[in-house]
Amino acid sequence: MAEEKENVPVGEQVSKKGAKKQAKAAKKAEQKAENASAAAAQNAGGDGAEDHAAGRYGLSEMIQSKDKRSERNFVPVPELRGQVGKGLVWVRGRVHTSRAKGKQCFLILRQQSSTVQCILAVGDIISKQMVKFAGNIPKESIIDIQAKAVAVASKIESCTEQSLELSVEQIFVISQAKAQLPLQIEDASRPENAEDDGLNIRVNQDTRLDNRVLDLRTPANQAIFRLEAGVCRLFRDILTEQGFTEIHTPKIISAASEGGANVFTVSYFKDSAYLAQSPQLYKQMAIAADFDKVFTVGAVFRAEDSNTHRHLTEFVGLDLEMAFKYHYHEVLHTIGNTFTAIFKGLRDKYAREIESVGQQYKVDAFKFLEPPLILQFSEGVAMLREAGVETGDEEDLSTPNEKLLGRLVKAKYDTDFYILDKFPLAIRPFYTMPDPNNPVYSNSYDMFMRGEEILSGAQRIHDPEYLIERAKHHGIDTSKIAAYIESFRYGCPPHAGGGIGMERVVMLYLGLDNIRKTSMFPRDPKRLTP
Amino acid sequence: MYELKTLLPQFEIKLPTCMYALKNVSLAADALDSSAGPSTSSCRGQHRLENSRSRGSNANVNNPAATCALDLDSLGRQIQQLLKDDTATVTARQEKVLKQLEDLKTQLGQIRAGLGVCGKTFQHTTAFQNGGLKEIPLQDVVINGHPNFIPYALLALKNAWRDLYTIDVKTFTHSTMADIGPAAREFEANLAKVPVNPALPKINITLIWKNCEHTEMISSPTMYVPIYGEVNIIRYLGRVGPAEYRYEGSPLCNEIDLVLDICYQLLRCNTHKTQVAMVRLLDKRLQQQQYFGGAQMSVADIGVYSSLIRMPAITDKDLTPALVAWRKRAKLVVQI
């Protein structure tokens, strides 16, 4: 497509081109005169039909770790700024686009999210054949180039390195890509909702996920997954600093750990086992085993056949559990402050990533308050009622109400993150500690980001007798949860906790519309590959 | 006609002043004829109705005098009978009357319950007269402020109302503010120092440090538009706050509003010259009074005091002696 377009103007503007060529030839003559002594030897080798640049380009042999080539000084693209006018450097990157035009070839080299323009012009060092070769390297191939960084007068708008270009002297293909790509990186990284743009080619979600390796190369995806790593790192760092211990819990379990959600069954030798849908039981056992404050980062499986924008069958759970002295608000504040610290860390250390996601997906920056806003469930219900929604005192928030409440809180307090405390006892699991002051409510809380629930937690009942009483009240067969109850029989400190889904937090932090965008290789009821 | 039971015997009924006061005749009737309580009260009702009608018609000028004489006659008869009786009968009669009243009260209670009328209606109306603050919970209020424009009025009001009204301020920092600075932090600490008295009526304020242009107040996003400017927030608080500071009904209302308007303008002044001009205006309003608008501290003083703190360029040199003296007086109350 692009080449055809290029050809049309070339035909029409012959006269202009001719004038330019002449001017260039004149320039070249001058250059030749200046570099005469240096270039004389090389020129003597082969001017006319012979390729005087042979050996300075070509397909590199497969790298099998034969030579170390430690003399080659590789410079990352973002650091090229410091190399302007300093001589030759090596750069390895991908061919983002390559376009040979007569005696010149413009090539955009990409390294992760950074791009730089490279230029090859026929001259003393570069031959026609070399320009042609460079123009024919398929997109996405990995190449090594040796080049000089040259400052440019006018900004190069299409690249991230706008103030310089690379004047190439050697070019080798390290790994060649197929000529036909299932999706174009440019299409995949085109900003959404840019309506004025004439070219409106989109890559749909399934094509992206089928060719995830290519899709992940877009600047936005590069940023998303670096940010996701940041969430995990901050979660670990912040909690470790507060005296938490990271634990690892089994993922193959013998019985469903939580009453409600469905579990995956796997064959386990002659028997069958389940995939853990929550590390909660093991977190609590670690508390009972005197670890005081624990957290875990690991896969969580949910066999829920829900094809929504926010459900995955496998995701990364960030869970924490903490013993407290007298009031579960000790834990609530710890969790809330952990979130605030994560948001602040992202805001301060990942501004570049957030910006590059924002270039593709236009969303408002995530807003939060410090310390986090804590509302009572009853206050939330009152706000909904004021907005004209009829909801019961002991009724769980429906998804539309949840979103509406999020909008109301945003309008009043201008925060995308808030905590709702004291949920009605009736809508919480049996192990939730009831509120001592009002039997309708419980010591439980939910946390919300952009109006969607991300964490659900509570003070757990740590007294085995009371736990049995509550389980019976809920009509649960106590023999099935005997192991759970048993773990509290040898003394257990009062504790509370909660867990979040990493993908969901990243999705909501960035304001993306689909959780599949924040899972590198998402698993949902309809997708098991790649 | 059907015999009707009156509904409001135990309440004091304020009669229009255009009518003559009439003595209660029910006791007299009781003394003459010891029939059941309810019927007596209905008699009284009829009696009064007749009287008022006769007066309203204004047909006969002598008529009221005639009724009066009639009353006097019955009273005299009653007194004579009382004098004849011994104290025991009087006590017995009194107890009887009390019992009848008690019966009436329960009867009325039943009627009210049957009608489904809220039992608190009466209390509500009285509460309204002395400010229905304890009964009607106030909407929680959010105030967005920039750390460069600290709403000192909150602290000033909090201190001034220490024994009258509780302003419970919770402070938050919005993500648009990386650092709120030492002045705002000190302000937060000072706010936290003021003790909260749970017995007093209370308003919850959420103060959010935010990168915003104006100090703004949001009470309910769905019901009301935001209120902009510290001065207007003072006005709002002045309306919902303790009765001593509610100025809408006061004759000084205009004066206070005027002073607050000057504060608003003062805060907008960029040059020292215009600021001093505003200070001169303030001095004109104050004159030799103790406080703005009189001898009592009002929200106007809070507004001026807070504005002057926000204008560190205005020193005591720029103030007149009267203003300096006022500032000292006000400082004792607002304690900033």
What average pLDDT does range A307-312 have in this prediction?
Answer: 90
**What was the pLDDT predicted at A36?**
52
Q: Which residue of B has its CA nearest to A413?
A: B142
Stretch(es) of chain B classified as CATH 1.20.1050.10:
247-336
CB contact under 8 A, A369 and B175: yes
Q: Note the ipTM here.
A: 0.76
Write down the residue that tokens 């109302």 correspond to.
B161
**What was the pLDDT predicted at B27?**
54
Shortest CB distance from B172 goes to which of A343, A371, A379?
Answer: A371
* B77 has a pLDDT exceeding 90: no
**What was the pLDDT predicted at A386?**
87
Q: Which of A354, A368, A369, A405 to mutate to test the interface with B (most CBs of B within 10 A)?
A: A369
**What was the pLDDT predicted at A329?**
95
* A3 has a pLDDT exceeding 90: no
Shortest CB distance from B208 goes to which of A386, A387, A414?
Answer: A414
- Whether A462 is a known active-site residue: answer no
Low-confidence winner among B79-88, B265-274, B302-311 (lowest mean pLDDT): B79-88
Distance CA A52, CA A122 (A): 11
* B124 has a pLDDT exceeding 50: no
* A493 has a pLDDT exceeding 90: yes
Catalytic residue among A456, A469, A523, A527: A456
Report which of A298, A299, A281 is spatially closest to residue A289, judged by C-alpha positions. A281
Q: pLDDT band for position B108 (50/70/90)? A: confident
Quote the strand ranges of B186-265, DSSP E: 202-209, 216-218, 227-228
Choose between A30 and A56: higher pLDDT: A56
What average pLDDT does range B170-194 have in this prediction?
Answer: 90
**What was the pLDDT predicted at A417?**
96
Q: pLDDT band for position B48 (50/70/90)? A: very low
**What was the pLDDT predicted at A256?**
57
User: Taking the model in full, what pTM does it have?
Assistant: 0.74
**What was the pLDDT predicted at B85?**
64
Q: Which residue of B has its CA nearest to A366?
A: B175
Hey, is A445 helix, strand or coil?
A: strand
**What was the pLDDT predicted at A468?**
93
Hey, is A325 helix, strand or coil?
A: coil
Choose between B8 and B230: higher pLDDT: B230
**What was the pLDDT predicted at B32?**
47
pLDDT tens profile A4-26: 444 444 444 556 666 777 777 77
- Whether A456 is a known active-site residue: answer yes
At B93, the amino acid letter reads R
Our CA angle for B5, B6, B10, nearest 5°, is 130
Report which of B18, B34, B15, B17 is spatially closest to residue B26, judged by C-alpha positions. B34
pLDDT tens profile A36-47: 544 444 444 444
B143-245: CATH number: 1.20.1050.130
- Which residues of chain A have a CB within 8 Å of the CB of B178? 348
Distance CA A408, CA A380 (A): 9
Q: What percent of chain A has pLDDT over 70?
A: 90
Give chain A's mean pLDDT: 87
What average pLDDT does range A360-367 have in this prediction?
Answer: 88
Distance CA B148, CA B310 (A): 9
Cβ B173 vs Cβ B111: under 8 Å:
no
Stretch(es) of chain B classified as CATH 1.20.1050.130:
143-245
Q: Which residue of B has its CA nearest to A387?
A: B222
Distance CA A508, CA A518 (A): 10
Report which of B207, B10, B192 is spatially closest to residue B111, judged by C-alpha positions. B10
For residue A166, what are the β-bridge partners? A118, A149
Cα A334 to the chain's mean position, in Å? Answer: 26
Q: What are phi and psi of A64, to 5 degrees?
A: -120, 25
Catalytic residue among A161, A165, A321, A453: A453
pLDDT tens profile B272-329: 888 888 888 888 888 888 888 788 888 899 999 998 888 888 888 888 888 998 999 8
**For the domain with range A219-518, which CATH number is right: 3.30.930.10, 3.30.70.3420, 2.60.40.10, 3.40.50.10480?**
3.30.930.10
Distance CA A259, CA A278 (A): 11
For residue A341, what are the β-bridge partners? none
B144 touches chain A (CB under 8 A): yes
- Which residues of chain A have a CB within 8 Å of the CB of B220? 386, 412
Write down the residue that tokens 């193959």 correspond to.
A252
Report which of B244, B235, B241 is spatially closest to residue B303, judged by C-alpha positions. B235
**Fold of domain B247-336:** Glutathione S-transferase Yfyf (Class Pi); Chain A, domain 2 (1.20.1050)
Distance CA A459, CA A498 (A): 9
Q: Which of A38-42, A97-101, A287-291, A304-308 has the highest mean pLDDT?
A: A287-291
**For the domain with range A35-58+70-175, which CATH number is right: 3.40.50.1370, 2.40.50.140, 1.10.10.10, 3.40.50.2300?**
2.40.50.140
